[in-house]
Structure 1
Amino acid sequence: MHTDILIAGGGIGGLAAGLACSKAGCHVRLYERAETFGEVGAGIQMGPNVVRVLQGWGLDTALRQVAAFPDRLQVRHALSGAELGLLRLGQTTVQRYGAPYATIHRADLQQLLLKALQQRDAVWLHTGKTVNRYVETNGAVGLSLDDGLDVEGDALIAADGLWSRVREQLLNDGPPRVAGHLAYRAMLPQASLPAALRSQQVTAWLGPRLHVVQYPVRGGEWLNVVAIVHGHVQGGLEDWDHGANAADLQAALGHTCMALRDLIAAVPDWRLWVLCDRPPVVAADQMARGHVALLGDAAHPMRPYLAQGAGMAIEDAAELARQVALVDGVLDVPTLLQRYALNRWQRNARVQARSIRNGEIFHLEGPMAWARDASLRLLGERLLDVPWLYRGP
């Protein structure tokens, strides 16, 4: 007998869950509402806790073909340009945590997971299928799709993102909250940049009510740039990827140092995200009830200030697979989904809370910013390293 896993959502979390559960011996049926599997162009940082999971799934070689592996993370002051702190990555991270720190194009990570999943038996991937609602009956869970099709399985994994329909039905806890921050994102070939602006490291620029992060992707051939400022936009928040006016960003960063202004001016096109999240998870039953479990942004959407949104979804997938592999006559699906939630909710909540706190620290003003800068100069790597996170769950 095989456990039949239904997955709503074909982003990074859904594909990771499908791959992990398939490797655990489950049959997997995945439903993605878009007509094709695709991701908007944005970069992802992956700590060694995440890279180690991908290596365990046999994806190390494929990852090395598309990712970059920076040797260091540098923190600089956005106004003066001065270096505030440095974290060694590369071999230092491998020695400390057993895996490197990687940076990758979001679409490349999705394609890596998709190709691995397509090579598995007993996996069915469906696009253009929106999950409307679910119903639990007779020890199973049924899905109603927007095209009128009904399907049934042993468990439903909701990986349908920030605006999850499954979460809405399961928890009925309202929409996500607006963070009050705007993220301008861009990705461009390094060859198109002046030599002085090219980089093979992670750099975080900290300033009052703003910060900018840049890092290489696609083997170092491209540069990902993210600028986050305080503000709001009008319009539908579910359309999370908007066209952006470069002049607005340049005006917001007009008081920063010349090196940062040059980088921003060199980017021809930006896309704008309105950042939303939810409060940190407070109990296991916010992640699983009965035959239904939430994963990734459907369960614990977080601000990007610890660079762990995709990472926590991948960790979720690994723990989910570890549990569903144990389904037998004694340990049933609801019990094991509850164990999945019990093993994940506190770590996810800690990452959510730390992400919120990091955003506050990054954007400090006045005397508090001076204290932050002095601490970084004095303690540097001790402040920037995150052992409890990078060691894994």
Structure 2
Amino acid sequence: MNRNMLIAGGGIAGMAAGFSVARAGWQTTVFEQAAEFSEVGAGVQLGPNVTRILQAWGLGDALKQVAAFPAGLHARSLATGEVLATLPLTDAVANYGAPYVTLHRADLHGLLLQAAAGEGVQVHSDAVVHRVFQTSDTVTFDVMQHDQLRQHTAPASLAADGVWSRLRQQLLGDGLPAFTGHIAYRALVAQADLPMHLRSQDVSVWMGSKAHVVSYPVRGGEYLNVVCLAEGRLLDDDANNLLALQTWNAKKSETQTLAELHHALRGACAPLTDLMSACSDWRLWPLCGRPAMQGAHEHVQDRVALVGDVAHPMLPYLAQGAGMAIEDASELALQLRDATAEDVPQRLQQFAQARWSRNARVQARAVRNGQIFHATGPMRMGRDMGLRLMGARLMDVPWLYRYCSA
């Protein structure tokens, strides 16, 4: 029985899906356009909805080796530094059966890559999937690898090639992602290089007007991940240039970046200003995305499933981009566990029906959180008062963290 699956994209979504589906008995092959995997990106946060899945996959011990386990999430005023409310993250195990962790994106990817290799997943680097073709029985990828065009055919495939997916354009034809008006400035600093009062093993969210900063430990707590998310605009040349939106960080000097950060965080309290000044080598990403999912068709087209950012790019204001990709992978394996090649279209439709509305809800909540984090005027005062009064009850998200696909 032919139970082969082709996967376009070897990022977190592709590797998680490749590993999960291989565990369900499928022979999976991943095509990644990068020549080699690198340390691109900074930190990720994984809530108990995600760590529960990693534990079920037998990756709990590996996660402990690279993750940090923050005790609390502190909502702070960017202007004064006041802690408005704290969500005790150590309660996640008691409340939801799994921990809340923070880690470097490359460490999460490496963990999944190693696990996938252990399940026999084949990974081809420097391999670009240019086109996808379908018949009633098969899917074919046109893959350019080492300057040679080859075709690969299987009964099932996944598009996991990121927010700028070529395959989504072919399958859905719904245009390119749009700039959201939000820019992320990211830095990583060794805790040993920070003065004692700036070191932290917790998550902090410093909320201001049209900007906020989040910081949390990664690499077992040895480094601090610092991200400033600000509302801004792109230069006209950048806004009209697809390549510029993907590599825009390379066009900014340190002086330009620091000037933009200073403007975004004007009026910030001294501890936050000190923390930002202690960081260097800032990397920039203009955040591009799509509206929340409108239906199951955005997850599946016949024998091709769209997963992760291909289907549902997330603003980072709920810290669930990687999490939803891993949830997708878990649900895929559940649906395909005992499937035959003939079952694939029906089983993928079941996957789409199980996932699209949750992903849409998380996308919408992330947008709403961004509005709250960046509130101005009366809305900002209401936000701060609500946090002071309701504390953890306002910050907890039970409907998100209780998710279980099995």
TM value normalised by structure 2: 0.94
Match of 2:117 in 1: 118
Q: Distance in 2 between matches of 1:6 and 1:39?
A: 25
Using the alignment, how far apart are the partners of 1:167 and 1:104 within structure 2?
Answer: 29
Alignment-derived partner of residue 286 in structure 2 = 274
Contact 2:3 2:340 (C-alpha < 8 Å) held by counterparts: no
Answering whether residue 30 of structure 2 is matched by residue 30 of structure 1, we say yes
Runs of 4+ in 1 over 4 A off after TM superposition: none
Q: Is the 8 A contact 2:75 2:206 kept in 1?
A: yes
Compute the displacement of 1:327 (Å): 1.0
Distance 2:77 2:89 in 1: 20
Residue identity in the other structure for 1:211: H
1:375 and 2:374 equivalent? no
Quick one: which of 227, 245, 251 aligns to 1:237? 245
Q: Distance in 2 between matches of 1:41 and 1:293?
A: 25
Instruction: Quote the Cα distance in structure 2 between the aligned partners of 1:268 and 1:170.
Output: 41
| Aligned partner of residue 246 in structure 2, secondary structure | coil
**Partner in structure 1 of residue 241 of structure 2:** none
Quote the residue 1:258 is aligned against: 270
1:337 correspondence with 2:352? no
Residue-by-residue CA offset, 1:204-239 (whole Å, 9 max, x unaligned):
000011100000001100000000111123321122
Secondary structure class of the residue paired with 2:245:
coil
Deviation at 1:268, TM superposition (A): 1.8
**CA offsets 1:162-211 (integer angstroms, 9 cap, x no match):** 00011110100001121101110001110011111000000000001110
CA distance in structure 2 between the aligned counterparts of 1:34 and 1:173, rounded to whole angstroms: 25
Distance 2:2 2:21 in 1: 11
Identity of aligned residues (%): 52
Q: How does 1:1-393 map to 2 (within 5 A)?
A: 1-90=1-90, 92-121=91-120, 123-146=121-144, 147-234=148-235, 235=238, 236-239=244-247, 241-242=249-250, 243=252, 245-328=257-340, 332-393=343-404
Contact 1:250 1:264 in 2 (8 A): no
CA distance in 2, matches of 1:279, 1:141: 28
Go from structure 1 to structure 2 and tell me whether the alpha carbon gap of 1:240 and 1:169 turns closer, same or farther (over 3 Å shift): farther
Report the alpha carbon displacement of residue 240 of structure 1 after superposing the two structures with TM.
5.5
Residue 102 of structure 1: CA displacement? 0.3
| CA distance in 1 between partners of 2:231 and 2:399 (Å) | 29
Conserved? CA contact 1:250–1:265, under 8 Å: no
Please say if residues 182 and 286 of structure 2, whose CA atoms lie closer than 8 Å, have aligned partners that are also in contact: yes
C-alpha distance after superposition, 1:30-88 (max 9, x if no partner)? 10000112341310000000001111111111100000000100000001111111100
Whether contact under 8 Å (1:287, 1:341) holds in the other structure is: yes
Aligned residues: 390
Please list every run of 5 or more consecutive structure 1 residues that lacks an aligned counterpart in the other structure. Answer: none
Amino acid in structure 1 at the alignment position of 2:9: G
Query: Relative to structure 2, which stretch is displaced further, 12-21 or 231-240?
Result: 231-240
Query: What is the CA-CA distance between 1:251 and the residue it aligns to?
Result: 3.1
Which deviations, in whole Å up to 9, do the C-alpha atoms of 1:256-305 show, x marking residues without a partner? 11111111111122001101111010110111011011000000001000
Displacement of 1:380: 0.7
| Contact 1:39/1:110 (8 A) holds in 2 | no
Q: Is the 8 A contact 2:138 2:303 kept in 1?
A: yes
Q: Gaps spanning 5+ residues in structure 2: where?
A: 239-243
Could you say what the CA RMSD is over the residues aligned between the two structures, in angstroms? 1.2
Residue 252 of structure 1: how far off its partner (Å): 2.3
Q: Is the 8 A contact 1:246 1:269 kept in 2?
A: no
Q: Deviations over 1:339-377 (max 9, x none)?
A: 100000000000000000000010011111101100000
Distance (Å, rounded) in 1 between the aligned partners of 2:51 and 2:233: 34
